[in-house]
C-alpha cells in the first residue's frame, strides 16, 4: 500500500517536473538523512508551507517538489525526528541535503507507572527511576528485585546482618522502629506474596517511586518508597511473537579460607595449655551429663590416664593438626551450585484482542546441595468487545519447592564448641562420628547394645534430618475500563491472590536428633535388658501450613483532556483490600514413613532421663494456630495540570483506614498528601542554549506514611491455658498491648528538588536530585512512671520519635562514542545520611548497654539511626594489655571503662553506606555488546569480630580467632599489633573492652565488580538460514569480587562472619521466533 502511494507520488513528481520544464515553475530536489547515522530517511513528509504542496521521500530518501511561487518555506518532518523549517527561493541550490535530528530524547519516551496510572516522565513532577527490560536482563538471577542491584539509583542493598534492615532500601531510612522495607507493587496492587514467585522473564520494567509526589498515592504504606513491577502483556494488531530464554548458572564453592578462624595447630596448642592448667578437669570428671570434649582433649585425657604412649599421642594429634575443618567441609559438603532457567512466552493480538502467555521453569542446586524448583505460568489477555470498552483478564500460577541440603559451616560443633579440626570420614571414605553433645567414652558402652546408636555422623546425618517446603501461588485479576465522552474514563479492577505454603521437617529414626531424644527418655531394665520407650521409636515429623488470601478491589474515574495549551490529567478512586492469613502446625512422634503411623506422646508428665535420672518433661514443639486479618479502605485522588508543555502542577491526596485495633473509626482515617511543580525551561521562548537541549526543573513536597499492624491502640490480650503447677487450671489472660488511644501512623515528610537535562544530540542526559526527609511521630519508647504498674514495660511505644534523612541522587547517561562502535556510560551516584533527632533513652543506662557492634538499632539523638558505638582505643601497652581511656586518661581499668564511660566519650560511626552507586559501561560493536557494572559503597564502617580469650577458651574457633596468630607475644609487638596478649584465666572485662573498642572498627568502603555481561545477536537479515527472527547468546559473570576496599585487614565487608561466596557464571540464549 505504502509502496503504491510512494510510486504514485513519485510519478506525480516526475509529471510535475516535466511540467516545470515548460512552465514558470522550479523543481527542488533533495535527500533527507538522519544527522547521526547518515542513513536516508524514507517516508519523510515534505510540505511547502505557502503553496501547500507536499511529497514523501522515496526508499533512498530522495524527493522532488515543485516551487510555484518565488519563495516559500519547506517543512520537513518524519516520525521520531524534529521537524525542520527551511526558507527557500528559486535562486537556491536546487539539490538539498537535509539532515533531521532524531527526537531520541529518551526522557520523553519514558513512561513511568505508579500502579494507579502510567504517565510520561516528562509530565511528572515526582521522582521516578525506571529500569527497563534491557537493563534488567543484564543480570540473570531468579529474583527480580535482586536484579536492581547496581542499576537503580537510590536503592541500597545493605548486605549486612542488621536487625530490622530489609534486603533493599530506597533512599535510606524513614523510620526507627516501624517496618523499613519498601512497598512492592506488581502491576496494580501491592504484592503480599513471596517475591521469588515472580519470574523475572515476565517482567517488562520496574519503576521506583522515590519521593512523596511519586509515592504518596500509596498512602500509609509508602513511607519507605514503592517499587512498581510491570509485567509483560500483548499489544493489539501485532503478529504472534515467540520468545524463548534459557540459561545455566554455575556458582563456585564459597571460599572457606576467607573465614577468619584460628588454625588447627594454634588451637591444639591452646588446648594442650588449657589441659595442663586443669581447664577441662571439671568436664572430664562430669559423670552427670558427660559433656562432649574435643578429640585432642580426649587424647590428652587418655595419656594422663596412662592409656596411650607419648609417641602415639604426638602422632594422633599431628593428624588433627593437618585436618582443617574448612577443608573437610569443602571436600565433603560444598559443591558448585547450579541453576537452570527456562522461559517461553507468546504474545500478539488482533484488532479486538491481545494476548500474552508465558511459562517458566527454574531449577537450582545450591552449594550445600539443597534443591529449589519453580514453575510459573502466566497469561494476560485484553479484549475490546465494543468501542470504548476494554476488558483485561490475567491469571498466574506459581509452584515452587525446596529440599534441604547438607549442614552449613559452623553448625557442627563438639559440645557447642567450634573445633577448627575435625574429621568426617576415614581413609575409606566411611563416616566418622563427631561427639556432638555426649562423650564417646559414655556413648560407646552405656547402652550395652540396648539403646539406639548414640553417635552423630555429620557425613550422613543430613540425609536423615530433612526439611522441605512447597509453595503455590495463584493470582487472578480482572480489569474493566470504559471511555466516557469528554475525556472521562472509568476503571474497575479486582485481584485475588492465594498463596499456600507447606513446610515439612523430618528427623527420621536414623537421625541423630531422633535417636538422641529417644535414648534420653529410654527406661532400661538392667536385669531383663528390656527397653521401655517413653519417646516412641520412630521419626519426628513437624508440619506447618499457611495460607494467605489477598483481595483487592478498586474503582477509579479518570479525566484526561487537552484544551489548547492546557492539559488536565486527573483521577479519583477508592479501593479496599483485605489480607487474610491462617496457619497451623503440628508435630508427630514415632513417625514411620512407610506405614504413615505415629504414636501419642505425653508432654505434661515428667519422666526420668537416662543419663542421670533427672526428671524432665519431653521437650517438643506442640501445635499452634494463627489467624490474622488486615483490612484497608482508601480513597485517593491525583491531578496534574500542564500549561503550554512548560509548566506542570500536580497534587495527590489519599486517606487510608484500616481495622487496626482500637482506633476509633474517625481516627482510622489518615490523610496523606503531596504537591509538585515542574517547569520545562527549555520549552521557554527565552531559552536559547543550544548545547543543553532539554532542561526541566521540578520540586515536590508531601507526606508518606508508615504503619505497623502489630501496634494497636486498644488493650488487647491473649487467652492461654493456665500456668502449670497451679490448682484450678483456669485459662489466663496475658496483656499483649497496652491501651494506647493516641497511637497513629507514622508520617514521613519528603521534599524533593530535581533537574533533568539533556545535552545536544544526547551526548549526555541525566538528572540531579536532592531530597530531605523527616520522619515525624515515629514509634518510639516513652518512659513511664513505674507506679502506673505497666510491669516490666516501664516504657510504652508512642508516636514520640523523630528522625531526619537527606540525600542526593545523580544519574548521568553519556554516549561517549556513537558510531559503528558504541560506548554508553551510566553513572549512578547516591548520597544518603540519616540521623535520629528525638528519641528517649534511659538516662541511667551504662555505657556497656550502649556499646553496639552495629548489628542492632542504636537511636541516640544526633547520631545515625544505625551506628557502631565503640570505646576509644589507646593501643597495647608494653605488657600486651589493651588500653582505653577513662576520665580522659589512658587506663586499663576495664570494668570502669566498659561500664562508666560517658556518652560523649564514646566513638560513633555510621553502619549504612552514605555514598553508593555504580558505573555501568555498555560497549556495542556490530552484533556484540558488553556491559560491565562496577558497584561502590562508601562512607561506612563495620566491626571486625575480635579475638577474645574468654570466647576462644569456651566457644572455640569462632570467627575472629584467626587474630591469635597476630597476638602480642613479646615487648615491642605492641608497635605492630592491636591483638592483646593471651591471658589465662581470661579477664572478661578486658575482653569486653577490647572487642567493643575502636581497634576493631574498620572502614567498610569498597568497590566491587557487580557483573559483566557479554552478548552477541544474529538477525534473520544477517543469515537467511537462521530458523529464527533473532538469536542472542549471552555470557554473564557476577560476584566477581572486590576491586578495592578501604580496610587493610583483608575483609570483604559483605562477608564479615560468613565465607566469601563463589563467583557466578552464566551462559544463556534468547531466541525470538
Partner 1 sequence: MKIQIFYIILLLISSFCISSCKKYLDAKPDKSLSTISSIEGLQGFLDDYRIMNQRCTQATAIASDNYYLTDDLYTKLRTEEGREAYLWKSGVFKYEANDWLNEYNIVYMANIVLDGLKKIDKTARNAAAWDNCKGSALVYRAKSFFEIAQVWSKAYDSFTAAKDLGIPLRLTSDFNVPSVRSSNENTYLQIIKDLKQAVPLLPNSSDNVLRPSKPAAYGLLARTYLAMGKYSQAKLYADSCLAINNQILDFNSLDPTSSSPFGPILYTNPEDIMHSRINRGVKIMLVYVYARIDSLLYESYDSNDLRKSIYFRTNADGSHGFKAAYENANQFYNGLATDEIYLTRAECLAREGDVANAMKDLNKLLINRWKTGTFVPYTADNSSDALNKILLERRKELFYRMLRFTDIKRLNKEGTNITLKRFIGGKTYILPPNDSRYALPIPDLVIQRSGMQQN
1023 binds partner 1 (CB under 8 A): no
Query: Does 733 engage in binding with partner 1 (CB under 8 A)?
Result: yes
Least distance (Å) between residue 542 CB and partner 1: 20
Q: Does 671 bind partner 1 (CB under 8 A)?
A: no
What Rg do the C-alpha atoms of the chain give, in angstroms? Answer: 35
Determine the number of helices (DSSP H) and then strands (DSSP E) in the chain: 17, 52
Q: Which of 115, 99, 284, 137 lies closest to 207, judged by CA?
A: 115
Q: Which H or E element spans position 677?
A: strand 670-680
- Binding to partner 1 by residue 605, rule CB under 8 A? no
According to CB under 8 A, which residues from 560 to 599 bind partner 1? 574, 576
Figure out which of the listed residues 94, 478, 753, 790 binds partner 1, where binding follows CB under 8 A. Answer: 790
Displacement of CA 726 from its chain's centroid (Å): 48
Nearer to partner 1, 527 or 666 (CB): 666
Nearer to partner 1, 285 or 627 (CB): 627
Q: Can you list the alpha helix ranges (DSSP code H) found in 608-758?
A: 665-668
Write the interaction track for partner 1 spanning residues 537-556; mark x where CB under 8 A is met and - where it is not. Answer: ------------------x-
**Closer CB to partner 1, residue 205 or residue 706?**
706
In sequence order, what DSSP letters do the residues of 65-111 get, joined into one string? Answer: EEE-SSEEEEEEE-TTB--EEEEEETTS-SEEEEEEPB---HHHH-E
CA angle 659–664–665, rounded 5-degree value = 65
Is the CB of 426 or the CB of 785 nearer to partner 1?
785
One of 791, 888, 972, 1027 touching partner 1 (CB under 8 A): 791
Residue 410 or 662 with smaller CB distance to partner 1? 662
Among 121, 300, 648, 657, binds partner 1 (CB under 8 A): 657
Residue 631 as a binder of partner 1 (CB under 8 A): the answer is yes
With respect to partner 1, which residue has the nearer C-beta, 717 or 925?
A: 717
| Near partner 1 by CB under 8 A: residue from 50, 331, 561, 730 | 730
How far apart are CB 1048 and partner 1 at their closest, in Å? 42
Contact segment (CB under 8 A) with partner 1 among 276-284, 734-742, 891-899, 1001-1009 equals 734-742
Q: Answer whether 743's CB lies under 8 Å from 711's CB.
A: yes
Binding segment (CB under 8 A) for partner 1, from list 315-323, 590-598, 777-785, 992-1000 = 777-785
926 binds partner 1 (CB under 8 A): no
Instruction: Please tell me what DSSP assigns to residue 742.
Output: T
Q: Which is nearer to partner 1, 528 or 665 (CB)?
A: 665
Task: Pick the piece of the chain touching partner 1 (CB under 8 A) from 93-101, 312-320, 625-633, 771-779.
Answer: 625-633
Residue 122 grid cell: 516528562
Q: Give the angle 776-781-784 at the CA atoms, nearest 5°.
A: 130
**How many whole angstroms separate alpha carbon 743 and alpha carbon 8?**
76
Site membership for partner 1, residue 723 (CB under 8 A): yes
Pick 733 or 954: Cβ nearer partner 1? 733
Cell numbers describing residue 730:
483456669
Total residues at interface with partner 1 (CB under 8 A) = 60
For residue 1073, give Cα distances in angstroms to 239, 246, 953, 1037. 11, 14, 65, 27
CA-nearest of 668, 667, 676, 801 to 174 is: 801
Nearer to partner 1, 575 or 974 (CB): 575
| Secondary element (H or E) of residue 803 | strand 795-818
Q: Does 629 bind partner 1 (CB under 8 A)?
A: yes
Residue 285 within binding range of partner 1, rule CB under 8 A: no
Closer residue to partner 1, CB minimum distance, 371 or 483: 483
Residue of the chain from 94, 101, 250, 490 that contacts partner 1 (CB under 8 A):
490
Q: Quick one: which segment of 67-75, 606-614, 629-637, 857-865 binds partner 1 (CB under 8 A)? A: 629-637
d(CA 797, CA 809): 34
Question: If we measure between CA atoms, which residue out of 429, 464, 265 comes closest to residue 332?
Answer: 429
Between 660 and 946, CB nearer to partner 1: 660
Q: Are 992 and 980 in contact (CB under 8 A)?
A: no
Q: Cell numbers at residue 689, please?
A: 542554549
**Is there binding between residue 739 and partner 1 (CB under 8 A)?**
yes
Check binding of 724 to partner 1 (CB under 8 A).
no
Of 766, 809, 1001, the residue nearest 915 (C-alpha): 809
Stretch that binds partner 1, among 180-188, 258-266, 484-492, 589-597 (CB under 8 A): 484-492
Nearer to partner 1, 428 or 605 (CB): 605
Nearest of 177, 159, 176 to residue 168 by alpha carbon: 159
Residue identified by cell 495463584 is 474
Least Å distance, CB 782 to partner 1, is 10
Q: Which of 15, 722, 816, 1043 binds partner 1 (CB under 8 A)?
A: 722
Please select the residue that binds partner 1; options are 1, 282, 305, 625, rule is CB under 8 A: 625
Q: Tell me: cis bond preceding 1061? Omega within 30 of 0 counts.
A: no
Given 14, 484, 890, 1049, the residue binding partner 1 (CB under 8 A): 484
Smallest separation (angstroms) from partner 1 to the CB of 789: 3
Give whichever of 311 and 625 is closer to partner 1, judged by the CB atom. Answer: 625
- Of 731 and 904, the one with the shorter C-beta distance to partner 1 is 731
- Kindly state whether residue 557 participates in binding partner 1, applying the rule CB under 8 A: yes
CB of 847 to partner 1, least distance (A): 15
- C-alpha to C-alpha distance for 466 and 537, rounded to whole angstroms: 18
Q: Min. distance of Cβ 718 from partner 1 in angstroms?
A: 6
Q: What is the DSSP string of 149-191?
A: TTTSTTEE---S--TT--S-EESS-S-SSS--SPEEEETTEE-
Compose the 810-849 pattern: x for residues touching partner 1 by CB under 8 A, - for all others: ----------------------------------x-----
Tell me the helix, strand and coil percentages in the chain, rounded to 5.
15, 45, 35
Cell of 1023: 543469515
Strand partners for 1034: 1015, 1068
Measured between alpha carbons, how far is 231 from 251 in angstroms, rounded to an integer? 28
Q: Which residues contact 470 (CB under 8 A, 6 or more apart)?
A: 399, 400, 401, 501, 502
Contacts of 368 (CB under 8 A, 6+ apart): 333, 334, 335, 405, 406, 407, 408
Q: Is 429 in the site for partner 1 (CB under 8 A)?
A: no
What residues from 700 to 719 belong to the interface with partner 1 (CB under 8 A)? 709, 712, 714-719
Q: Is 486 exposed, middle or buried (0-12, 13-18, 19+ CB in 10 A)?
A: exposed
Cell reading at 512: 541423630
Q: Work out which of 668, 696, 765, 774 binds partner 1, going by CB under 8 A.
A: 668
Which of 658, 962, 997, 1061 lies at the binding interface for partner 1 (CB under 8 A)?
658
CB of 717: closest distance to partner 1 in angstroms? 6
Q: At how many degrees (to 10) do helices 264-276 and 310-321 cross?
A: 140
Please say whether the beta carbons of 717 and 784 come within 8 A: no
> Which one of the spans 249-257, 312-320, 789-797, 910-918 is the region binding partner 1 (CB under 8 A)?
789-797
Q: CB nearer to partner 1: give 515 or 711.
A: 711
Q: Which of 456, 661, 993, 1034 binds partner 1 (CB under 8 A)?
A: 661
- Grid cell listed for 1071: 531466541
Closest CA relative to residue 674, chosen from 158, 96, 213, 127: 213
Query: Which residues would be at the binding site for partner 1 (CB under 8 A)?
Result: 484-485, 488, 490, 555, 557, 574, 576, 625-631, 633, 657-662, 665, 668, 709, 712, 714-719, 722-723, 726-728, 730-739, 783-792, 794, 796, 844
Amino acid at each position: 500500500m505504502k509502496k503504491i502511494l510512494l510510486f504514485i507520488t513519485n510519478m506525480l513528481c516526475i509529471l510535475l517536473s516535466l511540467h516545470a520544464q515548460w512552465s514558470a515553475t522550479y523543481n527542488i530536489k533533495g535527500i533527507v538523512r538522519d544527522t547521526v547515522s547518515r542513513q536516508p530517511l524514507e517516508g519523510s513528509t515534505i510540505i511547502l508551507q505557502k503553496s501547500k504542496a507536499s511529497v514523501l521521500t522515496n526508499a533512498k530518501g530522495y524527493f522532488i517538489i515543485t516551487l510555484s511561487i518565488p519563495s516559500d518555506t519547506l517543512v520537513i518532518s518524519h516520525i521520531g525526528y524534529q521537524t525542520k523549517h527551511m526558507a527557500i527561493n528559486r535562486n537556491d541550490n536546487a539539490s538539498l541535503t537535509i539532515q533531521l535530528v532524531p527526537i531520541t530524547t529518551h526522557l520523553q519516551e519514558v513512561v513511568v507507572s505508579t500502579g494507579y496510572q502510567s504517565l510520561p516522565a516528562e509530565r511528572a513532577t515526582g521522582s521516578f527511576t525506571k529500569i527497563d527490560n534491557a537493563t534488567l536482563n543484564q543480570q540473570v538471577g531468579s529474583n527480580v528485585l535482586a536484579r536492581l542491584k547496581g542499576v537503580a539509583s537510590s536503592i541500597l542493598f545493605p548486605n549486612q546482618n542488621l536487625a530490622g534492615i530489609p534486603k533493599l532500601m530506597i533512599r535510606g531510612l524513614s523510620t526507627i522502629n516501624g517496618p523499613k522495607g519498601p512497598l512492592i507493587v506488581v502491576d496494580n496492587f501491592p504484592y503480599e506474596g513471596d517475591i521469588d514467585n515472580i519470574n523475572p522473564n515476565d517482567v517488562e520494567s520496574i519503576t521506583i517511586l522515590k519521593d512523596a509526589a511519586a509515592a504518596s498515592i500509596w498512602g500509609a504504606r509508602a513511607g519507605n518508597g514503592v517499587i512498581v513491577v510491570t509485567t509483560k502483556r500483548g499489544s493489539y494488531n501485532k503478529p504472534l511473537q515467540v520468545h524463548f530464554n534459557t540459561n545455566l548458572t554455575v556458582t563456585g564453592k564459597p571460599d572457606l579460607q576467607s573465614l577468619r578462624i584460628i588454625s588447627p595447630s594454634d588451637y591444639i596448642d591452646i588446648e594442650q595449655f588449657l589441659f595442663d592448667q586443669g581447664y577441662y578437669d571439671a568436664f572430664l570428671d562430669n559423670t552427670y551429663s558427660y559433656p562432649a570434649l574435643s578429640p585432642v582433649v580426649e587424647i590428652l585425657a587418655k595419656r594422663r590416664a596412662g592409656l596411650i604412649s607419648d609417641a602415639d599421642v604426638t602422632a594422633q594429634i599431628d593428624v588433627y593438626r593437618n585436618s582443617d575443618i574448612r577443608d573437610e567441609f569443602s571436600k565433603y559438603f560444598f559443591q558448585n551450585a547450579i541453576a537452570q532457567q527456562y522461559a517461553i512466552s507468546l504474545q500478539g493480538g488482533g484488532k479486538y484482542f491481545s494476548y500474552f502467555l508465558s511459562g517458566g521453569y527454574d531449577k537450582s542446586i545450591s552449594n550445600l546441595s539443597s534443591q529449589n524448583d519453580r514453575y510459573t505460568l502466566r497469561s494476560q489477555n485484553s479484549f475490546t468487545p465494543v468501542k470504548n470498552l476494554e476488558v483485561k483478564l490475567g491469571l498466574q500460577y506459581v509452584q515452587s519447592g525446596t529440599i534441604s541440603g547438607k549442614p552449613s559451616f559452623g553448625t557442627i560443633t563438639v559440645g557447642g564448641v567450634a573445633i577448627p579440626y575435625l574429621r568426617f570420614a576415614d581413609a575409606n571414605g566411611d563416616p566418622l562420628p563427631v561427639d556432638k553433645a555426649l562423650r564417646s567414652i559414655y556413648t560407646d558402652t552405656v547402652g550395652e547394645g540396648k539403646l539406639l546408636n548414640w553417635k552423630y555422623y555429620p557425613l550422613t546425618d543430613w540425609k536423615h534430618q530433612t526439611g522441605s517446603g512447597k509453595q503455590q501461588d495463584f493470582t487472578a485479576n480482572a480489569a474493566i475500563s470504559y471511555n466516557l465522552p469528554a475525556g472521562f474514563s472509568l476503571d474497575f479492577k479486582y485481584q485475588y491472590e492465594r498463596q499456600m505454603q507447606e513446610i515439612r521437617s523430618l528427623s527420621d529414626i536414623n537421625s541423630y536428633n531422633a535417636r538422641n531424644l529417644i535414648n534420653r527418655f529410654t527406661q532400661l531394665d538392667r536385669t531383663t535388658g528390656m527397653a521401655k520407650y517413653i519417646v516412641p521409636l520412630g521419626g519426628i515429623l513437624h508440619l506447618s501450613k499457611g495460607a494467605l488470601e489477598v483481595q483487592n478491589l478498586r474503582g477509579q474515574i479518570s479525566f484526561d483532556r487537552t484544551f489548547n495549551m492546557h492539559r488536565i490529567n486527573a483521577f479519583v478512586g477508592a479501593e479496599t483490600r483485605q489480607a487474610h492469613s491462617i496457619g497451623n502446625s503440628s508435630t508427630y512422634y514415632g513417625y514411620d514413613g512407610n506405614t504413615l503411623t505415629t504414636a501419642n506422646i505425653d508432654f505434661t508428665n515428667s519422666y526420668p532421663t537416662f543419663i542421670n535420672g533427672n526428671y524432665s518433661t519431653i521437650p517438643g514443639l506442640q501445635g499452634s494456630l494463627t489467624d490474622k486479618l488486615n483490612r484497608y479502605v482508601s480513597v485517593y485522588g491525583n491531578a496534574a495540570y500542564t500549561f503550554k508543555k512548560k509548566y506542570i502542577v500536580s497534587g495527590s491526596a489519599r486517606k487510608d483506614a484500616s481495622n487496626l485495633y482500637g482506633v476509633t473509626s474517625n481516627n482510622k482515617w489518615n490523610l496523606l498528601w503531596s504537591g509538585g511543580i515542574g517547569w520545562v525551561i527549555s520549552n521557554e521562548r527565552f531559552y536559547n542554549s543550544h548545547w543543553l537541549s532539554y532542561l526541566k526543573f521540578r520540586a515536590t513536597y508531601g507526606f508518606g506514611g508508615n504503619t505497623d499492624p502489630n501496634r494497636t491502640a486498644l488493650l488487647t490480650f491473649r487467652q492461654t491455658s493456665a500456668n502449670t503447677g497451679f490448682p484450678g487450671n483456669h485459662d489466663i489472660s496475658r496483656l499483649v498491648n497496652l491501651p494506647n488511644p493516641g497511637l497513629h501512623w507514622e508520617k514521613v515528610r519528603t521534599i524533593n528538588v530535581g533537574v533533568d537535562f539533556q545535552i545536544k544530540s544526547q551526548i549526555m542526559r541525566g538528572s540531579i536530585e536532592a531530597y530531605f526527609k523527616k520522619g515525624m511521630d515515629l514509634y518510639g519508647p516513652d518512659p513511664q512512671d513505674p507506679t502506673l504498674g505497666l510491669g516490666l514495660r516501664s516504657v510504652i511505644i508512642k508516636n514520640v520519635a523523630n528522625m531526619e534523612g537527606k540525600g542526593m541522587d545523580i544519574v548521568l547517561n553519556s554516549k561517549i562514542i556513537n558510531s559503528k562502535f558504541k560506548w554508553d556510560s551510566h553513572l549512578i551516584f547516591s548520597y544518603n545520611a540519616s540521623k535520629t533527632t528525638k528519641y528517649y533513652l534511659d538516662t541511667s543506662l551504662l555505657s556497656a548497654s550502649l556499646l553496639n557492634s552495629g548489628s542492632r538499632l542504636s537511636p541516640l539523638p544526633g547520631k545515625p539511626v544505625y551506628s557502631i558505638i565503640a570505646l576509644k582505643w589507646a593501643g597495647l601497652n608494653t605488657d600486651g594489655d589493651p588500653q582505653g581511656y577513662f576520665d580522659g586518661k589512658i587506663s586499663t581499668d576495664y570494668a570502669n571503662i566498659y561500664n562508666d564511660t560517658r556518652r560523649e566519650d564514646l566513638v560513633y560511626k555510621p553502619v549504612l553506606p552514605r555514598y553508593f552507586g555504580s558505573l555501568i559501561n555498555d560497549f556495542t560493536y556490530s552484533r556484540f555488546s558488553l556491559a560491565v557494572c562496577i558497584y561502590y559503597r562508601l562512607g561506612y564502617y563495620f566491626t571486625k569480630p575480635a579475638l577474645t580469650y574468654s570466647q576462644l577458651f569456651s566457644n572455640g574457633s569462632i570467627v575472629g580467632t584467626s587474630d591469635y596468630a597476630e597476638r602480642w607475644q613479646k615487648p615491642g609487638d605492641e608497635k605492630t599489633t592491636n591483638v592483646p596478649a593471651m591471658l589465662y584465666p581470661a579477664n572478661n572485662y578486658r575482653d569486653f573492652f577490647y572487642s567493643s573498642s575502636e581497634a576493631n572498627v574498620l572502614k567498610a568502603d569498597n568497590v566491587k565488580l557487580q557483573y559483566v555481561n557479554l552478548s552477541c545477536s544474529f538477525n534473520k537479515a544477517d543469515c537467511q538460514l537462521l530458523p529464527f527472527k533473532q538469536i542472542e547468546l549471552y555470557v554473564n559473570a557476577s560476584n566477581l569480587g572486590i576491586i578495592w576496599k578501604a580496610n587493610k585487614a583483608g575483609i570483604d565487608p559483605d562477608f564479615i562472619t560468613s565465607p566469601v561466596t563463589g563467583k557466578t557464571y552464566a551462559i544463556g540464549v534468547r531466541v525470538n521466533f
